[in-house]
Structure 1
């Protein structure tokens, strides 16, 4: 065998991701073996562009058999196994080949590598790490065993193992991908015929049921996976982690905290369980205590205990993105905008691709700082000479509706010959009130797949410029959260011909709310007033939603204006009362704050953390004792949690 490394894959209907995988292995491998188990899309054609070794194989519900079929055709010294929804970091190819060249391929060896499982978008930087044997010596005695969650084994005994830091990125467990491929249902069908289940099998069964949100079964299998034998297996910390996640989803916070405390004793040097404990405390209403725990998590991450500088146990997100994001949220809720900006800035610096965080940061900075100051701040994080950075900044500026920032980054894009996408052209036309530009780019904007955002832009333009004819450009959206085309067309017709519609107007309150918010951001206040006046029967519902939006986005005076109007009409919702309570409490006006908080609790008695807020701020009164009694009655599973028990101590 003169070749060093063969990539062996099994695939089926992977046309959306296969090219990314095969592009990433260029320079890593000397040959590519692809075994297709029955694709009906363009998978085989894509594979054929990269290799002549594409083979058909009849699927028999056994992953090991299929993978062994690929492995037996390999002619290199070493085998690399990837799934189509995985890919490598091209910068690591020379190091890997040098590493493999220095090993004896004539001896059985399995090489465990880290797998970074993306939990949001590929660019989010958020993932959970696992590990598996994906590299091994190409010997007849080394092969895959077991029909699902197959393992590399050695026929003549235990397979010698070592580790190597080859980064494999996996996107197959993103929700959208799993929905398309229905992997969990397929995997569970294979498990039905599997005999002699072991700890690893129970762990993977737990994972499949957790993905399907069947948390009761997931917990059952995770707990079966935890035996004395498991403590020496690599799945042990991951199994305990998954148990905590499932218990939190089931709101069994007492048990979750018991696991967390035990895990902190086992792995005190890592940030993971400080963050998880903080998340439980937030759910319970102990936000100040959660801030302290999230801060501890960041401190642990900044001082890794291990020689390899690995600061996390399960996922780096629990020592980076998660505590930073939650600290930003908690400080914003407490109206400490200086600390909010600090943590959001760290998040943007960590991942400049996170548009949502950048939007949240600028949403605080822009109303309170000069444009020059904002640009100076952004210049320390972004490279204004890079096209991708400019496009991001222009896009977020357009979403904010800030004309000065939009114009600055638009001119910078023009200088670098960067053209805006068609939908960005439409948004730019709206921000700058240019109907001719909008109409010019509208036909080409419909060629993309993002029909939901396009429909909203069309709706906004029709409202601003009173263009009923724009309704012909509305199209169905593939996003289930968007209104149907029929509903959109009905609402469109209602706006321009209300006299022709009966009493029951077609209406989507959340959709109209987002239109109102966008009109407000872009400064179309007359259109904002006109739109809200078209739905007088829904006015109080819209006013509550808008008041909450303005409160959460730091337009506090506007929020108070809406809340005051709703108070006068006795139409204020529970969240509105709660937000007013926070405003007064953080200003030190405790009596008024507690009065609003009592009203909030009366309207939303299921919000357990509101009771905690009341008990933490209230002096010893009969009313406090009554709130404590109500909490005990309604949330008795939480009463024996230590932090709750301490707060309730002394209350009748």
Structure 2
């Protein structure tokens, strides 16, 4: 059990289900940083609850977020229950299959600050290409609760900043469980039955199909996200990933149009220029490909890119492609 600290208090809030293979790894990695550990179990049938109770007496079993078959249908309800269990000054949100990969020693320093209310950090899912930023460390009094049944987000009123020295890494073990992709597609489809014009849900559904390489289905989802266009944070990414999906469907004009729309929304990202370059390179329109890759070379990853950037798009890919173009022109 973690020894209590002086000064502002920190609670770790978690939701879990059937995580006996990974829970101890996560909790052992958190030792020394929290004052309170609050765990909500949404219906484990293994030893998850037993393991959790070795670390804290604040463990609740909560089934109201599940359907009649016991499948989770509302992640925000479970998150909010965990948040209600604490009166700590600050909260760190982490999942059982995650670990603090770097920056653990900075967390206690951040919660003593008066000039910010939320700290965004890197969330790594497999590799740097899949990195996203998420405000997982936040002042509890400014939190207004989690929203959305799937890909839940915290409504928050306060000052936020990024500390990219902090990283949480996702290391899942889905043996004997519904895969994350299957679950996410199921929940997105459920949510779209209630909110068919929700661009955010269409975006995340498209992202799941993109991972599965179902590019035609992904493109339709991103088209719907763009049609309703009410996901403010995702306006650029909706169009970029639509361009990616159409590229893989060999719809060259559609890919170019979507990529250009992404550039018009935010020209700081190299990804859309790389996509344009890849289309023109594939079509052997080398002058346009060269221009697009050169524009990508002039970009740096935006510091506020909450939905992530692709490291290869900044220098590596456009540089390699420009060398190929130079070799073809010299041949």
* TM-score normalized with structure 1 length: 0.41
Aligned to 1:99: 110
CA distance change for structure 1 residues 112 and 259 in 2, over 3 Å: closer, same or farther? farther
Measure, in 2, the Cα distance between the counterparts of 1:309 and 1:55: 36
Question: Any unmatched runs of 5+ in structure 1?
Answer: 337-585, 587-616, 618-652
Measure, in 1, the Cα distance between the counterparts of 2:298 and 2:38: 44
1:43 matches 2:42:
no
Aligned to 1:237: 236
Aligned to 1:452: none
1:32 matches 2:47:
no
| TM superposition shift of 1:240 | 1.6
Q: Is the 8 A contact 2:273 2:292 kept in 1?
A: yes
Aligned to 2:162: 164
Aligned to 1:87: 99
Measure, in 2, the Cα distance between the counterparts of 1:221 and 1:236: 14
Measure, in 2, the Cα distance between the counterparts of 1:27 and 1:323: 44
CA distance change for structure 1 residues 265 and 190 in 2, over 3 Å: closer, same or farther? closer
Secondary structure in 1 aligned to 2:137?
strand
Aligned to 2:199: 199
Q: Is the 8 A contact 1:148 1:190 kept in 2?
A: no
| TM superposition shift of 1:243 | 0.9
Greater helix proportion? 1
Measure, in 2, the Cα distance between the counterparts of 1:264 and 1:16: 44
Question: Any unmatched runs of 5+ in structure 2?
Answer: 1-5, 67-72
User: 1:109-147: per-residue Cα shift (whole Å, max 9, x none)?
Assistant: 5x36244443xxx4xx43234334423332497222332
Q: How does 1:358-369 map to 2 (within 5 A)?
A: none
| TM superposition shift of 1:8 | 0.8
CA distance change for structure 1 residues 327 and 230 in 2, over 3 Å: closer, same or farther? same
User: Rg: which structure is higher?
Assistant: 1
The correspondence for 1:137, drawn from 136, 139, 142, is: 139
| TM superposition shift of 1:80 | 1.6
The correspondence for 1:314, drawn from 285, 309, 318, is: 309
Secondary structure in 2 aligned to 1:101?
coil
Measure, in 2, the Cα distance between the counterparts of 1:309 and 1:132: 11
CA distance change for structure 1 residues 40 and 281 in 2, over 3 Å: closer, same or farther? farther
Aligned to 1:435: none
CA distance change for structure 1 residues 129 and 237 in 2, over 3 Å: closer, same or farther? farther
CA distance change for structure 1 residues 260 and 179 in 2, over 3 Å: closer, same or farther? same
Secondary structure in 1 aligned to 2:224?
helix
Measure, in 1, the Cα distance between the counterparts of 2:291 and 2:33: 43
CA distance change for structure 1 residues 138 and 241 in 2, over 3 Å: closer, same or farther? same
Measure, in 1, the Cα distance between the counterparts of 2:184 and 2:138: 27
Q: Is the 8 A contact 1:188 1:208 kept in 2?
A: no
Measure, in 2, the Cα distance between the counterparts of 1:39 and 1:324: 49
Aligned to 1:361: none
Relative contact order, CA 8 A, sep 6+: which one is greater?
2
1:65 matches 2:77:
yes
Secondary structure in 2 aligned to 1:7?
strand
Number of residues of Structure 1 aligned to a counterpart in Structure 2? 313
Q: How does 1:397-416 map to 2 (within 5 A)?
A: none
CA distance change for structure 1 residues 41 and 145 in 2, over 3 Å: closer, same or farther? same
Measure, in 2, the Cα distance between the counterparts of 1:236 and 1:131: 16
| TM superposition shift of 1:50 | 4.0
Aligned to 1:220: 220
Q: Is the 8 A contact 1:9 1:35 kept in 2?
A: yes
Measure, in 2, the Cα distance between the counterparts of 1:87 and 1:324: 34
User: 1:321-343: per-residue Cα shift (whole Å, max 9, x none)?
Assistant: 54467679x59xx9x8xxxxxxx
User: 1:69-94: per-residue Cα shift (whole Å, max 9, x none)?
Assistant: 2111124111121223333233x234
Q: Is the 8 A contact 1:21 1:87 kept in 2?
A: yes
Q: How does 1:228-307 map to 2 (within 5 A)?
A: 230=230, 233-282=232-281, 284=282, 286=284, 292=290, 296=294, 299-300=297-298, 304=300
| TM superposition shift of 1:101 | 1.2
Greater strand proportion? 2
Secondary structure in 2 aligned to 1:40?
coil
| TM superposition shift of 1:247 | 0.9
Measure, in 2, the Cα distance between the counterparts of 1:160 and 1:276: 36
Aligned to 2:70: none
Measure, in 2, the Cα distance between the counterparts of 1:325 and 1:15: 45
Q: How does 1:502-517 map to 2 (within 5 A)?
A: none
| TM superposition shift of 1:227 | 6.2
| TM superposition shift of 1:184 | 3.0
CA distance change for structure 1 residues 104 and 45 in 2, over 3 Å: closer, same or farther? farther
Aligned to 1:359: none
Measure, in 2, the Cα distance between the counterparts of 1:219 and 1:281: 20
* TM-score normalized with structure 2 length: 0.74
User: 1:501-529: per-residue Cα shift (whole Å, max 9, x none)?
Assistant: xxxxxxxxxxxxxxxxxxxxxxxxxxxxx
User: 1:28-63: per-residue Cα shift (whole Å, max 9, x none)?
Assistant: 332222212122344345444544433322242221
Secondary structure in 2 aligned to 1:246?
helix
Measure, in 2, the Cα distance between the counterparts of 1:113 and 1:202: 24
